[in-house]
C-alpha cells in the first residue's frame, strides 16, 4: 500500500511539473490560449475517466456486499442452530445439577446425619461410662500432665 501511494505521489508531481513547464513554454512562445484549451481537454478527459472509475467501484462494492450477504446467511443459520443446542445443553446441565443437589440432600438427611448422630451417641455414652466408673480419659490426662510437671520440676531442681 505504501509503495502504491509513493508511486501515485511521484506520478502526480511529475505531471504537475510537466504542466507548469508546458504553461511557461506556451507563454514564452505566445500560444498560451491554445495551451489552455489543450490543458482543459486533458483535465476533462481525466474527469470522465475518474467518473467511470467511481461507477466501476460502486458496482464492485455492490457485488462485494451481495457476496458477503450470501456467505453470511449460512453462518447466521449455523450460529442459530449452535445457540439452540447450547441452550438445550444448559437446561439439561441445570436439571442435572438440581437432581444431584436433591440426591445429596436426601443422602445427607437419610444416611449421613443418622450415622453421625449414632456415632456421636455411642462415643458420648462410652465417655459417660468411663467418667461414672472412674476410668475417664479426662482424669488420666490430668494426672499425666501433673506427673509431667512434677518430673520437669524435679529435673530443674536436681540440675542446680
Enter the C-alpha cell of residue 113: 446425619
Among 9, 7, 17, 19, CA closest to 43: 19
49-75 per-residue burial string, b: 16 or more CB within 10 A, e: under 16 = eeeeeeeeeeeeeeeeeeeeeeeeeee
* Residue 102 burial class via C-beta count within 10 angstroms: exposed 0-12, middle 13-18, buried 19 and up: exposed
- Alpha-carbon span 52 to 113, nearest angstrom: 87
Quote the pLDDT of residue 138.
58
Helical (H) or strand (E) element with 159: none
Alpha-carbon dihedral sign for residues 113, 116, 118, 121:
negative
User: Can you give the residue ranges of every domain in the chain?
Assistant: 31-158
From the CB of residue 148, how many other CB atoms can be counted at a distance below 10 Å?
Answer: 10
Task: Please report, in tens digits, the pLDDT of each residue of the chain (160 residues total).
Answer: 788 889 989 998 998 898 888 888 888 888 888 888 888 898 899 899 999 999 999 999 999 999 988 888 888 888 888 888 888 888 888 888 888 888 777 777 777 777 777 777 888 788 777 777 766 555 577 788 888 888 888 888 875 5
- CA 99 to chain CA centroid, Å, is 31
Q: Taking a C-beta distance cutoff of 8 angstroms, is the pair 39, 18 a contact?
A: no
The Cα–Cα gap between 18 and 35 comes to: 12
- What is the per-residue pLDDT for 52? 95
Does an H or E element contain 135, and which? Answer: none
Residue 134 pLDDT: 65
pTM of the model: 0.42
In the numeric block, which cell numbers belong to residue 72?
453470511
Amino acid at each position: 500500500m505504501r509503495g502504491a501511494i509513493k508511486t501515485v505521489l511521484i506520478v502526480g508531481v511529475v505531471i504537475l511539473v510537466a504542466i507548469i513547464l508546458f504553461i511557461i513554454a506556451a507563454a514564452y512562445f505566445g500560444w498560451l490560449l491554445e495551451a489552455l484549451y489543450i490543458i482543459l481537454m486533458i483535465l476533462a478527459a481525466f474527469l470522465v475517466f475518474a467518473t467511470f472509475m467511481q461507477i466501476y467501484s460502486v458496482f464492485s462494492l455492490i457485488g462485494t456486499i451481495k457476496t458477503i450477504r450470501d456467505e453470511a446467511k449460512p453462518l447466521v443459520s449455523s450460529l442459530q442452530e449452535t445457540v439452540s443446542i447450547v441452550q438445550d445443553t444448559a437446561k439439561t446441565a441445570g436439571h442435572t445439577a438440581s437432581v444431584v443437589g436433591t440426591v445429596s440432600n436426601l443422602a445427607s438427611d437419610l444416611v449421613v446425619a443418622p450415622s453421625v448422630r449414632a456415632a456421636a451417641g455411642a462415643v458420648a455414652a462410652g465417655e459417660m461410662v468411663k467418667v461414672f466408673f472412674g476410668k475417664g480419659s479426662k482424669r488420666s490426662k490430668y494426672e499425666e500432665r501433673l506427673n509431667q510437671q512434677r518430673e520437669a520440676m524435679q529435673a530443674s531442681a536436681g540440675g542446680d
